[in-house]
């Protein structure tokens, strides 16, 4: 029997999917920001589907929402990795965490911009 690193074909895909689900569960359990973003996603996806008039608008509205938790997952992974190295304050650790946090902010700005560009002209 092959070990985890030698899995091939469908077995590798199934195992990778399992690891992905494990990561989602861990982030949901330990990261409040991720939980908040998932709640917002659940609330806003139906609104985006309803407000988008074309398939492209719907894709942009919903797709931009998915970017935020995706970037939050990466942010949380970076923070966990930095914390694993050590909890003492270090300039490079703080910089890594701040940069990852900035990526989340940019994703929120991106989503807000997409929603504004699509929806504001409809109400003006």
Q: What is the DSSP string of 51-104?
A: H--SHHHHHHHHHHHHHHHHHHHHHHHHHHHHHHH-SS--HHHHHHHHHHHHHH
- How far apart, in whole angstroms, are the C-alpha atoms of residue 79 and residue 30? 12
The whole-number average pLDDT for the span 87-103 is 92
pLDDT bucket at 4, cuts 50 / 70 / 90: low
> Given a cut of 80, is residue 73 above it in pLDDT?
yes
Q: Which of 31, 37, 57, 72 is catalytic?
A: 72
Q: Give the sign of the dihedral formed by CA 55, CA 116, CA 76, CA 39.
A: negative
- Cβ proximity of 100 and 54 under 8 Å: no
Q: Residue 55 contacts by C-beta under 8 Å, 6 or more apart in sequence?
A: none
The whole-number average pLDDT for the span 93-104 is 96
Classified by CATH at the fold level, domain 32-123 comes out as Helix Hairpins (1.10.287)
- How far apart, in whole angstroms, are the C-alpha atoms of residue 64 and residue 108? 9
37 labelled catalytic: no
Q: Domain ranges in the chain?
A: 1-30, 32-123
Indicate the pTM of the whole model: 0.88
CB atoms within 10 A of CB 63: 12
Q: What is the pLDDT of residues 27-60, one digit of tens each?
A: 999 999 999 999 999 999 999 999 999 999 999 9
């Amino acid at each position: 029997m092959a070990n985890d690193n030698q899995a091939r074909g469908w077995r590798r895909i199934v195992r990778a999917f399992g690891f992905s689900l494990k990561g989602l569960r861990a982030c949901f359990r330990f990261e409040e920001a991720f939980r908040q973003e998932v709640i917002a996603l659940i609330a806003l996806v139906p609104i985006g589907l309803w407000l988008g008039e074309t398939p492209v608008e719907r894709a942009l509205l919903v797709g931009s929402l998915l970017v935020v938790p995706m970037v939050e997952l990466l942010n949380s992974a970076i923070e966990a990795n930095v914390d694993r190295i050590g909890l003492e304050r270090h300039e490079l650790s703080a910089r890594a965490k701040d940069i990852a946090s900035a990526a989340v902010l940019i994703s929120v700005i991106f989503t807000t911009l997409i929603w504004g560009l699509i929806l504001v002209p409809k109400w003006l």
